[in-house]
Structure 1
Amino acid sequence: MKTIINNGQVLNVHTSQYEKKNIVIESDKITGLADSPVTGEKGDVVIDAAGKYIIPGLIDAHVHITSATVDLATPQLPITYTTCCAAKNLADALLRGFTTMRDVGGADFGLAMAVNNGMVKGSRLFYCGRALSQTGGHGDFRAMTYDGEYGAPMQSSATTIGQIADGVTEVRRACRSELRKNASFIKIMAAGGVASPDDRLTDTQFSGEELTAIYEEAQAKSTYIAAHVLSPKAIQICLKYGVRSIEHGNLLDEETAVMMKEKGAYLIPTIITYDALARRGADYQFPEESIKKLGSVRVQALEAVKIARRHGIKIGFGTDLLGPLWEEQINEFTLRSTIEKPIDTIISATKINAEVLNQSGNLGEISEQAFADILILGKDPLKEITAITDNRNIQVIMKAGTIYKNTL
Structure 2
Amino acid sequence: MTRIVFRNANLFDSPSATLKPGATIVVEDGMVGAVSFGQLDIGDAQVFDLAGRVVLPGLIDAHVHVTATIPDFFKLSMLPQSLITAQSKDILEQMLKRGYTTVRDAGGADSGLAQAIELGHFAGPRLFIAGRALTQTGGHGDSRPAFFNGMSCACCGAVGLLGHVADGVPEVRRAVREEIRNGATHIKVMAGGGISTPNDPLDGTQYSIEELTAIVEEATAAKTYVMAHAYSPEAIQRAVRCGVRSIEHGNLIDMATAQFMAERGAYLVPTLATYAAIERHGKQLGWSEAMLEKTDRVKNQGIEALKMAHAAGVKIGLGSDLLGEMHVSQYDELKMRQAAMKPADILRSATWVNSEMMNQMGRIGVIARGAHADLIVLDGNPLDDLSIFQDSRNLLAVMKAGQFYSNHLTQASFTV
- Fold similarity call, TM over 0.5: yes
Mapped pair 1:343 → 2:344: yes
The corresponding residue for 1:35 is 37
How far is the alpha carbon of 1:157 from its aligned partner?
Answer: 8.3
User: How far, CA to CA, are the matches of 1:159 and 1:228 in structure 2?
Assistant: 18
How far is the alpha carbon of 1:150 from its aligned partner?
Answer: 4.5
The corresponding residue for 1:136 is 138
In structure 2, the CA distance between the partners of 1:155 and 1:273, relative to structure 1 (3 Å rule), is: farther
Residues 4-403 of structure 1: pairs in structure 2 closer than 5 A? 4-19=5-20, 20-36=22-38, 38=40, 41-42=43-44, 44-74=45-75, 76-146=78-148, 148-153=149-154, 160-403=161-404
CA offsets, 1:34-81, max 9 Å, x none? 224656555x32111112011111000000000021122326111111
How far is the alpha carbon of 1:197 from its aligned partner?
Answer: 1.0
CA offsets, 1:215-272, max 9 Å, x none? 1101111211100000001101101111110000000101101110111000000001
User: How far, CA to CA, are the matches of 2:235 and 2:203 in structure 1?
Assistant: 8
Q: Given that residues 80 and 158 in structure 2 are in contact (C-alpha distance below 8 angstroms), is that contact kept between their aligned partners in structure 1? A: no
The corresponding residue for 2:412 is none
**Greater shift in the superposed pair: 269-278 or 388-397:** 388-397
User: How far, CA to CA, are the matches of 1:258 and 1:197 in structure 2?
Assistant: 30
CA offsets, 1:309-352, max 9 Å, x none? 11110000000011111111111111112222111110010000
How far is the alpha carbon of 1:110 from its aligned partner?
Answer: 0.4
In structure 2, the CA distance between the partners of 1:157 and 1:321, relative to structure 1 (3 Å rule), is: farther
In structure 2, the CA distance between the partners of 1:70 and 1:158, relative to structure 1 (3 Å rule), is: farther
Q: Given that residues 267 and 357 in structure 2 are in contact (C-alpha distance below 8 angstroms), is that contact kept between their aligned partners in structure 1? A: yes
RMSD of the alignment, in Å? 1.6
User: How far, CA to CA, are the matches of 1:232 and 1:158 in structure 2?
Assistant: 32
CA offsets, 1:114-158, max 9 Å, x none? 111111011110011000000010011222132x21535368989
In structure 2, the CA distance between the partners of 1:39 and 1:407, relative to structure 1 (3 Å rule), is: farther
CA offsets, 1:19-47, max 9 Å, x none? 221011111110111224656555x3211
Q: Please tell me the residue identity of whatever aligns with 1:110.
A: G
Q: Given that residues 67 and 85 in structure 1 are in contact (C-alpha distance below 8 angstroms), is that contact kept between their aligned partners in structure 2? A: no
How far is the alpha carbon of 1:184 from its aligned partner?
Answer: 1.2
In structure 2, the CA distance between the partners of 1:156 and 1:26, relative to structure 1 (3 Å rule), is: closer
User: How far, CA to CA, are the matches of 2:35 and 2:159 in structure 1?
Assistant: 45
Unaligned 5+ residue runs, structure 1? none
User: How far, CA to CA, are the matches of 2:43 and 2:240 in structure 1?
Assistant: 54
User: How far, CA to CA, are the matches of 1:111 and 1:265 in structure 2?
Assistant: 29
Q: Given that residues 109 and 160 in structure 2 are in contact (C-alpha distance below 8 angstroms), is that contact kept between their aligned partners in structure 1? A: no
User: How far, CA to CA, are the matches of 1:286 and 1:70 in structure 2?
Assistant: 9
In structure 2, the CA distance between the partners of 1:194 and 1:114, relative to structure 1 (3 Å rule), is: same
In structure 2, the CA distance between the partners of 1:38 and 1:388, relative to structure 1 (3 Å rule), is: farther
Report the count of equivalent residues. 406
Q: Given that residues 56 and 350 in structure 1 are in contact (C-alpha distance below 8 angstroms), is that contact kept between their aligned partners in structure 2? A: yes
User: How far, CA to CA, are the matches of 1:16 and 1:300 in structure 2?
Assistant: 27
TM-score calculated relative to the size of structure 1: 0.96
Q: Given that residues 132 and 164 in structure 2 are in contact (C-alpha distance below 8 angstroms), is that contact kept between their aligned partners in structure 1? A: yes
Q: Aligned to 1:73, what secondary structure does the other structure show?
A: helix
Q: Aligned to 1:226, what secondary structure does the other structure show?
A: strand
User: How far, CA to CA, are the matches of 1:50 and 1:36 in structure 2?
Assistant: 15
Q: Please tell me the residue identity of whatever aligns with 2:256.
A: E
Q: Aligned to 1:255, what secondary structure does the other structure show?
A: helix
**Greater shift in the superposed pair: 69-78 or 2-11:** 69-78
User: How far, CA to CA, are the matches of 1:71 and 1:343 in structure 2?
Assistant: 35
* Percent pairwise identity: 43
User: How far, CA to CA, are the matches of 1:154 and 1:243 in structure 2?
Assistant: 29
